[in-house]
Structure 1
Amino acid sequence: MVSDQPLFLDSGNTRLKWGYKDRTGSIEDSSELTALIRQFNISNIVLASVTQKWTPATLSGLFPSILVRSAIVEQGLDGLMLAYKDESSLGVDRWLNMLAAMHHSPTGFKVVVSMGTAMTIDVVDSNRHIGGYIVPGLLTQAKSLHQNASALPMVEFSGGAELGGNTQDCINHGILRSAVALVEATVAPLAGQAMVFVTGGDAGYLSNSLGVEHKVNRNLIFDGLKTYWLAKHRDG
């Protein structure tokens, strides 16, 4: 039987991730995607993409019988009012994470932190996006240091934000400490009234050192895609 539940796809800067019902995973190539579609007997796909590697045209070309919908940032969808005057310049991943945060916590302040190639922070007051920050992600910062200061080694993150006792730890812990400080400084003016959501591939590193109450949800973008799909399905 053909499934009426969509396959949600998140095409980020490093990989293609999928969500279907309560299952998630990642895909390396089109053959794996084909196998997944056959396994779940998918009839429609909802895509969020920040790259040109996976687009609606690409997916429609590969799977002409499947309905492909691309999530596009929309002012006011599900009540979320955006700080950006030009909403098309807001990353769809950030928008979907905010939609998900609103779904989980409809009132009060939400601080949404995504830890990936870039680290992004967005603050939402009930249904109003106040604004945010974008800085290089943990690994992006480490690569930049290594590429621009050849004497500094490339590090692998292992957690910890205390003072480092060797060069690797000084880099590792310094980068993480700066990320922690930015989140805590963002949350501090909200006087403990904010629900903090941490998501993304490097969420665990931040979570282990973060000194404010927070929730880790690695599938936040899929919650957002589901919220988007239900809103569009409801509106026809």
Structure 2
Amino acid sequence: MKLLLDLGNTRLKWAVLDGDTWTTRGAVAWSDDIERTLIEAWQALHGVRQIDGASVVDSVREARVEAIVMNMFGHKARWLRTPAEACGVRSAYAEPERLGVDRFLAMVAAYRDGDAPCVLVGVGTALTLDALAANGHHLGGLIAPGPQLMQQALWGATARVYPEPGRVLDAADNTADAVASGCWQAAIALIERFASRMASSLGGSPRLVLGGGDAAALQPLLALPSRLAEDSVLRGLAVWSAAH
């Protein structure tokens, strides 16, 4: 069996593969008790012989997870660092290692799923946009704050805008709704503009594939057709693991 790890900015996600079958999945936020949660979740796992991981976090958090893995399974995790090319996908970055491994693996999953040409959107702490051509070539992308982070930044930088929930409206008549509407609509506008600008390079009307913790909340607000892709980093990691 394989244990696959996705260390994201907000939380750690994991999945267990027995051959080609996904047997167990889970997630824990970094703000929670990581050690206790993982030990409780993994103590019933038997027969784990390989651990593959993808990480966008600092080395300290990687080391915490590595220690738990070693203690429980007696194997080191194999951390994927973003390659220039793998599994049919070629990075557009001149320095491939500077492309987030989560973005690369989302492209690997999309390419394996037959979604290319497409625009991949990651809606989490960051809002990431990537254009993937039909031949697996990455054409580049954009990074911006995610809608939740935009709101938090505004709350933290202003004296009279307070943290409170709001609705997403075309035009708001109160501050809470205005903040929520402005931040979510800014994300939507960037996605739709990027998709429009990249359309000619992607052969016309590329698929729009959404992933990340806030993808489901954002999807109904888009004017463009789209589909949700769950656990794209883990699924891309599974493809890479099988090939290596």
Mapping of 1:119-158 within 5 angstroms? 119-126=127-134, 127-156=136-165
Counterpart selection for 2:95 from 77, 86, 92: 86
Larger CA deviation: 213-222 vs 62-71: 62-71
| Unmatched segments (≥5 aa) in structure 1 | none
Say if 1:59 and 1:88 are closer, same or farther in 2 by CA, change over 3 A.
farther
Answer yes or no: is the 8 Å Cα contact 2:126–2:149 preserved in 1.
Answer: yes
CA distance in 1, matches of 2:35, 2:215: 27
Give the drift of 1:35: 2.7
Give the drift of 1:117: 0.8
Mapping of 1:63-212 within 5 angstroms? 63=72, 65-105=74-114, 108-126=116-134, 127-156=136-165, 160-189=168-197, 190=199, 193-212=205-224
TM normalised by structure 2 equals: 0.85
* 1:83-106 CA-partner distances (Å, limit 9, x unpaired): 101011111111111111111126
| Unmatched segments (≥5 aa) in structure 2 | 17-21
Say if 1:162 and 1:25 are closer, same or farther in 2 by CA, change over 3 A.
farther
Say if 1:22 and 1:175 are closer, same or farther in 2 by CA, change over 3 A.
farther
Give the drift of 1:67: 4.2
Cα-Cα RMSD: 1.9
Answer yes or no: is the 8 Å Cα contact 1:7–1:18 preserved in 2.
Answer: yes
The amino acid of 1:209's aligned partner reads L
CA distance in 2, matches of 1:201, 1:164: 25
Counterpart selection for 1:46 from 44, 52, 55: 52
The amino acid of 2:45's aligned partner reads F
Q: Equivalent residue of 2:192, what SS?
A: helix
CA distance in 2, matches of 1:224, 1:167: 41
CA distance in 2, matches of 1:35, 1:43: 19
CA distance in 1, matches of 2:66, 2:14: 18
CA distance in 2, matches of 1:227, 1:30: 28
Answer yes or no: is the 8 Å Cα contact 1:161–1:209 preserved in 2.
Answer: no
Given the alignment of the two structures, is residue 227 of structure 1 paired with residue 239 of structure 2, yes or no? yes
Give the drift of 1:231: 1.4
The amino acid of 2:129's aligned partner reads I
Answer yes or no: is the 8 Å Cα contact 2:43–2:72 preserved in 1.
Answer: no
Answer yes or no: is the 8 Å Cα contact 2:35–2:68 preserved in 1.
Answer: no
CA distance in 2, matches of 1:161, 1:47: 40
Percent of paired sites with the same residue? 27
TM normalised by structure 1 equals: 0.88
Given the alignment of the two structures, is residue 9 of structure 1 paired with residue 17 of structure 2, yes or no? no
Give the drift of 1:61: 4.4
* 1:49-100 CA-partner distances (Å, limit 9, x unpaired): 1112124743454346124211211112112111101011111111111111
Answer yes or no: is the 8 Å Cα contact 2:209–2:226 preserved in 1.
Answer: yes
Given the alignment of the two structures, is residue 34 of structure 1 paired with residue 30 of structure 2, yes or no? no
Residue of structure 1 in register with 2:229 after alignment: 217
The amino acid of 1:43's aligned partner reads R
How many residues matched?
Answer: 226
Larger CA deviation: 175-184 vs 54-63: 54-63
Residue of structure 1 in register with 2:25 after alignment: 24
